[in-house]
Amino acid sequence: MDGYIGWSLALRQLAMGNEVCGIDNFSRRRAVEEVGSWSATPILPIEKRLSILQKEYGDKISFHKGDLVNPDFTNDVIGKFQPDSIVHLAEQPSAPYSMIDQSHTLYTQSNNVMGTLNVIYAMKNYAPKAHLIKLGTMGEYGTPDMEIAEGFMEVEFRGKKSTIPYPRFAGSWYHWSKVHDSNNVAFACKLWGLCSTDIMQGVVYGTRTSEITEQNKHTRFDFDEVFGTVINRYCAQAVIKHPLTVYGKGGQTRGFLALEDSIQCMSILIDNPPEAGEYRVVNQFDQQYKVSELADRVKRIADKKGLDANIQRLENPRVEKEEHYYKADHEQLKKLGFKATRHIDDEISVMLDDLMVYEERIRAKKEQMTQLVKWRDGSDKIQKIANPLILSND
């Protein structure tokens, strides 16, 4: 619960009156340090974060330091806490990180697949009625040349109709690890009657939720090439007057949603579990945008604040189409009551204001915006090239 979404969700769930038990092994802090960067927002050590929450919420908040790849730890925490819902955000979350070299690929797939297997075994043995909310990614689907359904599609093949899982065309070792997990979780539901919601989430942006009103409640905010995502990175670039860097033609289209709305969606899912044995897939995003359109938006809003942003186009190191068809369903969460509460322009404006406070912290790690993982090269270390942009490491 020490990460970007985990911390924000813990704050929300506590504010809603729910009891929260957090787990973290602090791998995100270590990995961002490994690539030479840090959070733009100076987040507190976990002990201080917890003491702030405990003052407000008493024993409704608990926390265990540990690693899901350790079966004993996972069994122990889940067995003792007896959760109604398990929100599994504990995966290595960066596509570029998984593409750095062989050891990062192995780490990503091993950490994600083994951690998730341990969670579902712990559920089966100690909390079989819990609802597993697992964070997948819209990136599992890739960019197929047809509409993207929510998890499943009906097809006709040689005269027979059948409902099949929507095909996955993932584009990194990280994204494939999430596909492996989706497959494993779906099988666990069938095998043992567990229930799960697999969230295909779009790219999340923003610094704020209703609960993040003071500095000491800030969630982390990554802007480096490996862990920062596209809108967040453009805003950080604008704040230090670094060019907003667009890969190739900039026609890459994805689904996006504000941090506040991501937290809203997850809270809705927590309150609305599926039936026992059901494996449910939701596509969790608000609007689709092209990357070039996002750069234009950030520039326009930054310019109004006197930041004078430039846009720079760079060669694309990723394995992805730069112009493509993209139309994804996202009806399931709306049916459960989700309504977007943030307009992207307002959120960009708030982010720029928030990040200007930490301009020096961003400037200090400026170099880490301009290192580049060459996906096709699979080189044995992070290579410095120039001004990269990460479209999505969701």
**Interface ranges with a second copy (CB under 8 A):** 71, 102-103, 105-106, 109-110, 113-114, 117-118, 121, 124-125, 144-147, 149, 153, 155-158, 160, 162, 164-165, 167-168, 170, 173, 176, 179-180, 183-184, 187, 190-192, 319, 375-376, 378
Give 171's strand partners. Answer: none
Active-site residue, from 74, 108, 137, 245 = 137
CB 253 within 8 A of CB 288: yes
Q: Strand, coil or helix: what is 19?
A: coil
- CA–CA dist 45, 65 (Å, integer): 13
Least Cβ distance, residue 236 to a second copy (angstroms): 29
* Nearer of residues 179 and 348 to a second copy, judged by Cβ: 179
* Nearer of residues 165 and 274 to a second copy, judged by Cβ: 165
74 is catalytic: no
137 is catalytic: yes
The number of helices, as runs of H, and strands, as runs of E, in the chain is 13, 15
CB 217 within 8 A of CB 56: no
Name the region of 277 (left: φ>0; alpha: ψ -120 to 50; beta: rest). left
Quick one: CA dihedral 356, 362, 367, 370, positive or negative? Answer: negative
Report long-range pairs for 52-55 (Cβ below 8 Å, ≥24 apart). Answer: 52/216, 52/217, 53/10, 53/11, 53/14
Least Cβ distance, residue 387 to a second copy (angstroms): 23
Least Cβ distance, residue 242 to a second copy (angstroms): 29
Provide CB contacts within 8 A for 172, sequence distance 6+. 95, 96, 98, 99, 139, 319, 375
Least Cβ distance, residue 231 to a second copy (angstroms): 26
- CA–CA dist 351, 204 (Å, integer): 13
Residue with tokens 């690539």: 35
The structure tokens listed for 353 are 């204001």
- CA–CA dist 125, 79 (Å, integer): 8
Q: Strand, coil or helix: what is 157?
A: strand
* Nearer of residues 57 and 173 to a second copy, judged by Cβ: 173
* Nearer of residues 32 and 113 to a second copy, judged by Cβ: 113
* Nearer of residues 36 and 378 to a second copy, judged by Cβ: 378
* Nearer of residues 22 and 96 to a second copy, judged by Cβ: 96
Q: Environment class of residue 45 by beta-carbon count within 10 Å: exposed (0-12), middle (13-18) or buried (19+)?
A: exposed
Active-site positions?
137, 174, 178
